[in-house]
């Protein structure tokens, strides 16, 4: 007699696989999508924005644990859609895979609502335009409890109560109410800033955190949401090139914040975190922001969606840039240029021509440009004076000035050049003397001015240096005896790969076997000992910032220029009156006369009013 076939272990194993009920799948997904109350707020507000809302009100209690409510006046949902919206992978924003490359909405996965509803007591009420009444549905931990018709204005209101009540394991991971509230507040502020045209409010436990009407622009919105004091320190920036656009607000030169926590990036209107973007901004703004302070910024990068990878994590703000180098170069250049422009604008305030200049010992050097009175006593700007002049020697003794000046400046007759506004400035300053070796005092029409000589030298050197590089007029001097030095292996590796970069900057460095190198030439500006230390420091900076000089040319050049200017100012001898005046004049024609490349102020002014008060 045949026995009934016995089930083989394989067959038993095959039947062990099951498709998870949606409710469980949603709870698992919820772990990713809603890691904390702020993530719920973000998903709901983004849905409201996607729905075209012109008003969004967010309310929450106890760090969002007890209650989160988001109400909007957007397009709303018809009764069928209200139920569909709670199904997994139900979305109105994506039809097929092709759409994935051209997403203009915040959501598209159709995961947020079912996930949130699976871990809370969830109430959604919505009325689409053209419908007589709205629909309300309540869901408890993923089970639809009740659906009914309700009277309401067009739009949507979603309440999420007792978040994670049914998932105690997740509840444990929440931080204090205060921390969770802070996350919610930041999330709402950032979204509000990105959409100035939407009226927005946030309240917690019956107290308003912020409330802003629709604003005409970003600046007004930042003032409403982050405060007027911060907004007043910011200036607009806007630069585009095909496929890339950078716009927003950035600290004006000379201003800065105590921490880097007010530095925000958006990519295609989403708040994002990206080390390339924030690092580039910090680097580029360095010379314009006081030392030890940080720029504040709200910067929006518009970029082709396929140049971004936003799917690194479903809710985290991190993004990956497909072509980091070109974005980095674009941002660095945009920020540097804008900061220079702003710095120039604010220094022109000082140098505006005056009607009746008082008697001054010092007048402009060369035949003055329009608007400048003729000189009483000429103070030749040495590098622009044709023919051999004693002043020329003076300049060469002053190492903070490049020995090789750009040919343009040397060949053009100064009188034919339009006189930069800054050039006239020192004519309105009366030299008073030097204090403690490094501080030069001037009387100005408005008060007293104190110039930090080394900072000024650094700044002047830095700009001359970059100019010479651009014009290819940076000279190198061959060393009679090449110098040998060694680097730690990691640094040696980096230097070896970038000897071309160093050569282009005047440092003839060659690999000499193992981790050793030989220096055969130095830039003409380099004075004093310690070229090995200088090169080592430059390599360290490059390593520290993960720079690739062959690709991140702009940043690498800037890093080297900054080191060079610090070195030059350090090794320079004290200057006499003539030199100091030439320096002051040259400083005022710099693109950014306000600070040295490390961000130290080059001068400060004490107004007459202030002196009288004291």
**Residue 76 contacts which entry, ligand ADP, Mg ion, none (Cβ below 5-8 A, type-dependent):** ligand ADP
**Residue 93 contacts which entry, Mg ion, ligand ADP, none (Cβ below 5-8 A, type-dependent):** ligand ADP
Span of 41-49, 133-141, 182-190, 407-415 interacting with Mg ion by CB under 5 A? 41-49
Question: Tokens for 20?
Answer: 């998870």
Closest to 127 in 3D by CA, of 186, 74, 181, 61: 74
Distance of closest approach, residue 58 Cβ to ligand ADP, in angstroms:
12
Q: List, edge to edge, every strand of the sheet that includes 430-435.
A: 430-435, 439-444, 447-452, 603-607
| Gyration radius (Cα) of the chain, Å | 32
Distance of closest approach, residue 558 Cβ to ligand ADP, in angstroms:
42
Is residue 74 near ligand ADP by the rule CB under 6 A? yes
Distance of closest approach, residue 210 Cβ to ligand ADP, in angstroms:
21
- Identify which of residues 107 and 196 has a Cβ nearer to Mg ion in the complex: 107
| Burial annotation 551-567 (CB, 10 A radius, 16+ → b, else e) | ebbbbbbbbbbbbbbbb
Span of 73-81, 229-237, 432-440, 545-553 interacting with ligand ADP by CB under 6 A? 73-81
Residue in 23, 55, 66, 93 binding ligand ADP, rule: CB under 6 A? 93
Distance of closest approach, residue 131 Cβ to ligand ADP, in angstroms:
13
In three-state secondary structure terms, 297 is: strand
The Cα–Cα gap between 571 and 526 comes to 9
Is residue 92 near ligand ADP by the rule CB under 6 A? yes
The Cα–Cα gap between 388 and 583 comes to 19
How many residues touch ligand ADP under the rule CB under 6 A: the total is: 22
What residues from 202 to 231 belong to the interface with Mg ion (CB under 5 A)? Answer: none
Element (H, E) at 337: helix 324-350
Distance of closest approach, residue 48 Cβ to ligand ADP, in angstroms:
5
* Ranges assigned E (strand) in 213-368: 234-241, 244-251, 263-267, 270-272, 297-303, 308-309, 320-321
**Residue 109 contacts which entry, ligand ADP, Mg ion, none (Cβ below 5-8 A, type-dependent):** ligand ADP
In three-state secondary structure terms, 298 is: strand
Span of 75-83, 362-370, 476-484, 521-529 interacting with ligand ADP by CB under 6 A? 75-83
- Identify which of residues 115 and 452 has a Cβ nearer to ligand ADP in the complex: 115
Is residue 126 near Mg ion by the rule CB under 5 A? no
- Identify which of residues 51 and 519 has a Cβ nearer to ligand ADP in the complex: 51
Is residue 107 near Mg ion by the rule CB under 5 A? yes
Question: Tokens for 527?
Answer: 């004075």
- Identify which of residues 117 and 249 has a Cβ nearer to ligand ADP in the complex: 117
Residue in 26, 27, 47, 212 binding Mg ion, rule: CB under 5 A? 47
Span of 16-24, 84-92, 184-192, 323-331 interacting with ligand ADP by CB under 6 A? 84-92
- Identify which of residues 156 and 572 has a Cβ nearer to ligand ADP in the complex: 156
Distance of closest approach, residue 74 Cβ to ligand ADP, in angstroms:
5
What residues from 155 to 184 belong to the interface with ligand ADP (CB under 6 A)? Answer: 156
Closest to 252 in 3D by CA, of 217, 290, 208, 301: 290
Q: List, edge to edge, every strand of the sheet that includes 143-150.
A: 143-150, 134-140, 121-127, 155-161, 67-72, 55-61, 199-204, 207-212
Is residue 76 near ligand ADP by the rule CB under 6 A? yes
* Ranges assigned E (strand) in 168-307: 199-204, 207-212, 234-241, 244-251, 263-267, 270-272, 297-303
The three-state (H, E, C) secondary structure of 55-81, written as one string: EEEEEEEHHHCCEEEEEECCCCCCHHH
What residues from 29 to 48 belong to the interface with ligand ADP (CB under 6 A)? Answer: 43, 47-48
Find the residue with minimal CB distance to Mg ion.
107
| Burial annotation 123-160 (CB, 10 A radius, 16+ → b, else e) | bbbbbbeeeeebbbbbbbbbeeeeeeeeebebbbbbbb
The Cα–Cα gap between 440 and 477 comes to 33
- Identify which of residues 46 and 496 has a Cβ nearer to ligand ADP in the complex: 46
Distance of closest approach, residue 156 Cβ to ligand ADP, in angstroms:
4
The Cα–Cα gap between 254 and 339 comes to 10
Question: Tokens for 318?
Answer: 């991190």
Span of 74-82, 129-137, 454-462, 544-552 interacting with ligand ADP by CB under 6 A? 74-82
Distance of closest approach, residue 89 Cβ to ligand ADP, in angstroms:
9
Residue in 29, 58, 77, 160 binding ligand ADP, rule: CB under 6 A? 77
Which distant-in-sequence residues (6+ apart) come within 8 Å of 269 by Cβ? Answer: 194, 195, 300
What residues from 496 to 515 belong to the interface with Mg ion (CB under 5 A)? Answer: none
**Concatenated DSSP letters of 145-172:** EEEEEE---SEEEEEEESTTTT-HHHHT
CA distances in angstroms from 163 to 85, 121, 182, listed in the order given: 19, 7, 17
573 neighbors 396 (Cβ within 8 angstroms)? no
Q: List, edge to edge, every strand of the sheet that includes 244-251.
A: 234-241, 244-251, 297-303, 263-267, 270-272
**Residue 74 contacts which entry, ligand ADP, Mg ion, none (Cβ below 5-8 A, type-dependent):** ligand ADP
What residues from 293 to 322 belong to the interface with ligand ADP (CB under 6 A)? Answer: none
330 neighbors 553 (Cβ within 8 angstroms)? no
Is residue 91 near ligand ADP by the rule CB under 6 A? yes
Find the residue with minimal CB distance to ligand ADP.
107
Question: Tokens for 519?
Answer: 């220096």
The Cα–Cα gap between 137 and 79 comes to 10
Is residue 72 near ligand ADP by the rule CB under 6 A? yes
Beta pairing partners, 294:
257
Span of 72-80, 256-264, 388-396, 563-571 interacting with ligand ADP by CB under 6 A? 72-80
**Residue 572 contacts which entry, ligand ADP, Mg ion, none (Cβ below 5-8 A, type-dependent):** none
- Identify which of residues 108 and 485 has a Cβ nearer to Mg ion in the complex: 108
Residue 437 carries which DSSP code? Answer: T
How many residues touch Mg ion under the rule CB under 5 A: the total is: 3
What residues from 95 to 154 belong to the interface with ligand ADP (CB under 6 A)? Answer: 107-113
- Identify which of residues 47 and 118 has a Cβ nearer to Mg ion in the complex: 47
Is residue 271 near Mg ion by the rule CB under 5 A? no
Span of 106-114, 345-353, 475-483, 490-498 interacting with Mg ion by CB under 5 A? 106-114
Q: Which residues bind Mg ion (CB under 5 A)?
A: 47, 107, 112
Q: Which residues bind ligand ADP (CB under 6 A)?
A: 43, 47-48, 51, 72, 74-77, 85, 90-93, 107-113, 156
């Amino acid at each position: 007699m045949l026995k009934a076939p016995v089930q083989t272990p394989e067959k038993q194993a095959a039947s062990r696989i099951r498709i998870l009920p949606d409710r469980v799948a949603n709870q698992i997904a919820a772990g990713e999508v809603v890691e904390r109350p702020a993530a719920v707020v973000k998903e709901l507000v983004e849905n409201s924005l996607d729905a075209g809302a012109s008003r969004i009100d967010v309310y929450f209690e106890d760090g969002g644990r007890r209650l989160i409510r988001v109400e909007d006046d957007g397009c709303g949902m018809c009764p069928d859609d209200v139920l569909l919206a709670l199904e997994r992978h139900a979305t109105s924003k994506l039809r097929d895979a092709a759409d994935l490359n051209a997403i203009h909405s915040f959501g598209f996965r159709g995961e947020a609502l079912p996930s949130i509803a699976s871990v809370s007591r969830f109430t959604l009420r919505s009325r689409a335009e053209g419908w007589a009444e709205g629909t309300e549905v309540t869901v408890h931990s993923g089970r639809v409890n009740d659906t009914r018709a309700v009277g309401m204005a067009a739009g949507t209101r979603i309440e999420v109560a007792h978040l994670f009540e049914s998932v105690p394991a997740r509840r444990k991971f929440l931080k204090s109410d205060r921390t969770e509230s802070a996350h919610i507040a930041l999330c709402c502020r950032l979204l509000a800033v990105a959409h100035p045209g939407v009226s927005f409010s946030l309240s917690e436990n019956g107290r308003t955190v912020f409330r802003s009407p629709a604003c005409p622009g970003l600046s007004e919105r930042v003032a409403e949401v982050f405060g007027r004091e911060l907004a007043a320190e910011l200036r607009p920036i806007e630069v585009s090139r095909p496929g890339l656009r950078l716009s927003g607000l950035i600290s004006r030169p000379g201003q800065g914040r105590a921490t880097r926590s007010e530095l925000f990036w958006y990519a295609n209107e989403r708040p994002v975190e990206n080390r390339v973007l924030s690092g580039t901004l910090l680097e580029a703004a360095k010379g314009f922001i006081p030392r030890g302070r940080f720029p504040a910024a709200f910067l929006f990068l518009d970029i082709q969606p396929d140049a971004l990878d936003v799917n690194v994590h479903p809710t985290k703000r991190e993004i990956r840039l497909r072509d980091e180098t070109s974005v980095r170069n674009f941002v660095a250049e945009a920020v540097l240029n804008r900061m220079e422009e702003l710095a120039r604008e604010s220094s022109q305030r000082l140098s505006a021509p005056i009607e009746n200049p008082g008697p001054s010992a010092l007048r402009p050097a060369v035949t003055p440009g329009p608007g400048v009175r003729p000189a009483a006593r000429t103070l030749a700007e040495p590098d622009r004076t044709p023919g051999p002049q004693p002043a020329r020697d003076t300049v060469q003794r002053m190492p903070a000035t490049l020995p090789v000046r750009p040919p343009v400046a040397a060949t053009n007759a100064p009188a034919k050049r339009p006189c930069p506004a800054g050039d006239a400035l020192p004519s309105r300053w009366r030299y008073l003397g030097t204090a403690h070796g490094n501080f030069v005092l001037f009387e100005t029409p408005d008060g007293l001015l104190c110039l930090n000589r080394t900072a000024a030298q650094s700044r002047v050197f830095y700009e001359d240096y970059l100019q010479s590089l651009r014009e290819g007029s940076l000279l190198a001097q061959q060393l009679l005896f090449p110098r040998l030095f060694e680097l730690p292996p990691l640094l040696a590796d980096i230097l070896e790969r970038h000897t071309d970069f160093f050569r282009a900057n005047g440092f003839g460095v060659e690999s000499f076997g193992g981790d050793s190198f030989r220096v055969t030439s130095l830039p003409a500006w380099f004075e004093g000992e310690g070229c090995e230390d200088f090169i080592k420091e430059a390599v360290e900076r490059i390593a520290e910032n993960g720079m690739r000089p062959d690709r991140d040319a702009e940043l690498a050049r800037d890093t080297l220029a900054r080191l060079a200017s610090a070195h030059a100012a350090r090794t320079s001898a004290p200057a006499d009156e003539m030199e100091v005046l030439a320096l002051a004049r040259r400083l005022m024609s710099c693109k950014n006369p306000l600070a040295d490349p490390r961000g130290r102020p080059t001068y400060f002014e004490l107004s007459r009013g202030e002196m009288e008060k004291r």
